[in-house]
Amino acid sequence: MNKINIITPPDTLHHRAYKFLLIYPDAYIQQELQNYIGGWDHPVDIYIYNEPEAHDWLLKVFEMADTVIVNCDDCDTQIRDLMSFLISFPKTYWLTQAENIVYNKLSLNRVYNLDFLTQIVGGTSEKKQQQ
């Protein structure tokens, strides 16, 4: 069992851990993430952003995060203004129900579920088990 820390604004942790940033995660995203990291044997920090007034914190944590997951459909208007910046990074994976949106031109990391985590989390966990 790994140690999982849930962090919200204004807090941050500075230690060795795999860092996820979830931007406006819904219950599905949170449950799926839990399913993928539940058996991981590394410490994990999960930063959750769902407070419209913590923009400085969001940008600071974004820089620290290893993987960012954005629920575009539930983001507030101010975060939507930052969306093209956020999803332009290869570490950002984004979910939306919308079709024909311009973000498809900026990033190929549009996902429909969190299956991509098997490559990130599963691969790291398997390496540790083999050692």
Domain range for 15: 4-124
Angle formed at CA 91 by CA 85 and CA 92, multiple of 5 degrees: 50
Between the alpha carbon of residue 116 and those of residues 77, 105, 112, 123, the distances in Å are: 27, 20, 10, 11
Position 5 scores a pLDDT of 95
Low pLDDT (below 70) residues in the chain: 1, 99-106, 121-131
- How many folded domains does the chain comprise? 1
- In a domain, residue 131? The reply is no
Question: Which residues 6+ apart lie within 8 Å of 95 measured at CB?
Answer: 29, 69, 70, 71, 72, 73, 110, 111, 112, 113
CB 110 within 8 A of CB 103: yes
- In a domain, residue 66? The reply is yes
CATH code at position 32 = 3.40.50
Instruction: Write down the pTM of the prediction.
Output: 0.85
Position 113 scores a pLDDT of 86
Position 67 scores a pLDDT of 96
- In a domain, residue 82? The reply is yes
- Cα 122 → chain centroid: 16
